[in-house]
Amino acid sequence: MEKIEASESAYLYIALSQIPSAGHGLYTLIDIYKEEIIAKYKGRILTSDQIKFRVERGRDQYFINLPNGSILDSMDHKCFSKYANDATGKSVSSFKNNAKITLDDEDHVCLIALRNIKSGEEIFCSYGSSYWKKHGK
């Protein structure tokens, strides 16, 4: 895994997603190469009570399940990664996921490129079947 040697704000931007009704999407200003780390997930680890509170209010769209069982929530944090949509999610789309959510060498949750991604392309990643079971696919 290679890291891009620039701040995420220097090469990533948020704009309307190409997937209908998906809201905002994540785009790149530079060419990104296969297996490069695109961005890290930022957020806070939630307690069980905080998780329950947010789930009951439908504020769980930006939860990431960590390997140790805890939940990282990026809803109220500046985080480019949370804007990557799932091309195989709710909407029918001709797009394919070009990134995946994984851990880097330091065990940080990040997006990594599955293929070369050209400047101007939207970045898509799978949210996993458990996300879509919960959120209505």
Q: What is the pTM of this model?
A: 0.85
Q: Give the C-alpha distances (Å, rounded to integers) separating 42 from 45, 81, 82, 90, 96.
A: 10, 8, 9, 25, 24
Domain count, the chain: 1
pLDDT at 92: 67
73-130 pLDDT, tens digit each:
888 889 999 999 999 876 667 899 999 999 988 888 999 999 999 999 999 998 876 6
Percent of the chain at pLDDT above 70?
91
Higher pLDDT, 42 or 136: 42
Q: What's the CA angle centered on 4, arms 82 and 110, to 5 degrees? A: 30
**What's the CATH number where 125 sits?**
2.170.270.10
Residue 71, in any domain of the structure: no
Residue 60, in any domain of the structure: no
